A and B are shown apart, each in its own frame.
Chain A
Amino acid sequence: QSALTQPRSVSGSPGQSVTISCTGASSNVGGYDYVSWYQKHPGKAPKLMIRDVSERPSGVPDRFSGSKSGNTASLTISGLQAEDEADYYCCSYAGTYTLVFGGGTKLTVL
């Protein structure tokens, strides 16, 4: 049950795009199309931003997009806005009712 690997931090200026990677294994990210991404502000509950690799739940801006290639999933945020500054976590299905999370990436909007 090793955590998925994410960069500790990324940054970008308003209006720019950033991509956060999430590397796992064939037993999780590479084996299933059940990768999700969560936005988390300090002291708040995580918010689902992307599910099933690339689907946006209702209400999530289309600036957020997801993809996957092999054992690595990615979250891209385009047209960065100040309110996007937060921690982002990837999560993958790893077997019946079992999940594994990434270590989290701190996004700084410069």
Chain B
Amino acid sequence: EVHLVESGGGLVQPGGSLRLSCAASGFTFSSLGMAWVRQVPGQGLEWISSISIGPSPTYYADSVKGRFTISRDNVKNSLYLQMNRLRDEDTAVYYCARFAVVGWVIDYWGQGTLVTVSS
């Protein structure tokens, strides 16, 4: 069974940094692309970053480009999101998600981790 478990969320001040982790199990992690998607409270889902099966290439939404960095460790079956220069508007639940074996679709999601940016 596929499991994606996020960790690392919490309260951080504007301008600060945070690193999210996602532990994957139940599938061959190194064979599939992965993504981070967030949901600002009361708003919709927003794709923010993806990574292919290797360390690169990586892809980012304009809203986080230059501030966030996605990475993966295929030995530890883990996905990461380094978030720098955080802003109030980055407050959201961050979901780890995996691309399906076939096709460009996310088929499994983690339960999410809440990041709150506030002074």
Q: Do A and B bind each other?
A: yes
Binding site for B on A (CB under 8 A): 1, 3, 32, 34, 36, 38, 40, 44-46, 48, 51-52, 57, 89, 91, 93, 95-104
Given the interface pairs A89-B44, A97-B59, the reply to whether A48 lies near B50 with Cβ below 8 Å is: no
Not counting A46-B45, A97-B99, a sample of 11 additional A-B residue pairs whose C-beta atoms are within 8 angstroms of each other reads: A1-B61, A45-B112, A46-B95, A48-B105, A91-B106, A97-B104, A99-B106, A100-B47, A103-B44, A104-B43, A104-B45
Q: How many residues of B contact A (CB 8 A)?
A: 29
Given the interface pairs A45-B112, A89-B45, A104-B45, the reply to whether A97 lies near B105 with Cβ below 8 Å is: no
In the complex, are the beta carbons of A45 and B95 less than 8 A apart?
Answer: yes
Give the chain A neighbours of B45 by CB distance below 8 A. 38, 40, 46, 89, 91, 101, 104
Bound form: Cα–Cα A38–B52 in Å? 22
In the complex, are the beta carbons of A46 and B109 less than 8 A apart?
Answer: yes
Bound form: Cα–Cα A34–B61 in Å? 19
Give the chain B neighbours of A97 by CB distance below 8 A. 33, 35, 50-52, 57, 59, 99, 104
The smallest beta-carbon distance between B46 and chain A, in angstroms, is: 6
Interface hits, B66-119 → A, CB 8 Å? 95, 99-100, 103-112
Give the chain B neighbours of A89 by CB distance below 8 A. 44-45
Bound form: Cα–Cα A44–B112 in Å? 8
In the complex, are the beta carbons of A34 and B105 less than 8 A apart?
Answer: yes
In the complex, are the beta carbons of B105 and A36 less than 8 A apart?
Answer: yes
